[in-house]
Amino acid sequence: MTGLEGQNPSSALQAELFLRSMLLGLPAGLLLDCFRTLRALLPHHALLVFIEDTVYVFLCIFTVQCYVWMYAGGVFRWQYAAGACIGLAVYLATVGAVWMRMLRRLRCAVRRVLRFTGKMLMKPLTCVFQKNLKKYLTGRRFWVYNMVKHRKMHRSTPNRNGAQYGTEQGNGARTRKTAETRYF
């Protein structure tokens, strides 16, 4: 059958075209599964998801329009779009559901492998880093830096002016003895 010759087709012909339009749900579902697989394996920005969805919708509309041109004589009826949506829903409830379960398991397996591989690769690096960090923190340079940072000075340690710290009159107040009052 090449199309509708007259403008008033029979109900048997309309039923046949409706059932054929339900088969359009198969390629639409396959295309949707391709996009869902791409999103699951390569997460990306919301703008790209929007562009993918827009491309998907236009491809579905173009498929229905091509079907109308080829089989319905160019006369568009909403039953063809409804048949394609019903076919898509049936596909998603059967094959699409199985594919999504498999895809979830695949994602979990890939994550486990990547997590295990990452741990195996990072373990030597973290051991080396922790060993060097411990050596650095207990080393002499860090001790000197810590002493300078906290200015732990003793009574006999001179300050930057050459004066020494000490106490006067026994009251415990810290005062500076200048170089002139030093006793040798």
d(CA 75, CA 180): 113
Burial (CB count <10 Å: 0-12, 13-18, 19+), residue 33: middle
**Mean local confidence (pLDDT), 68-84:** 87
Taking CA atoms, 164 is separated from 43, 90, 154, 171, in Å, by 67, 92, 9, 17
pLDDT at 170 over 50: no
Q: Which one-letter DSSP state was computed for residue 5?
A: S
What does the pLDDT read at residue 32?
92
What does the pLDDT read at residue 58?
95
Percent of the chain whose predicted confidence (pLDDT) is above 70: 61
What does the pLDDT read at residue 167?
45
* C-alpha closest to that of 20 among 74, 91, 84, 73: 84
pLDDT band at 102 (very low <50, low <70, confident <90, very high): very high
Averaged pLDDT of the chain: 75
- The partner residues of 158 in beta bridges, in order of sequence, read 164
Per-domain boundaries in the chain? 11-122
**Mean local confidence (pLDDT), 137-164:** 54
Name every residue whose Cβ is closer than 8 Å to that of residue 41 and which is 6 or more positions away in sequence. Answer: 107, 110
pLDDT at 67 over 70: yes
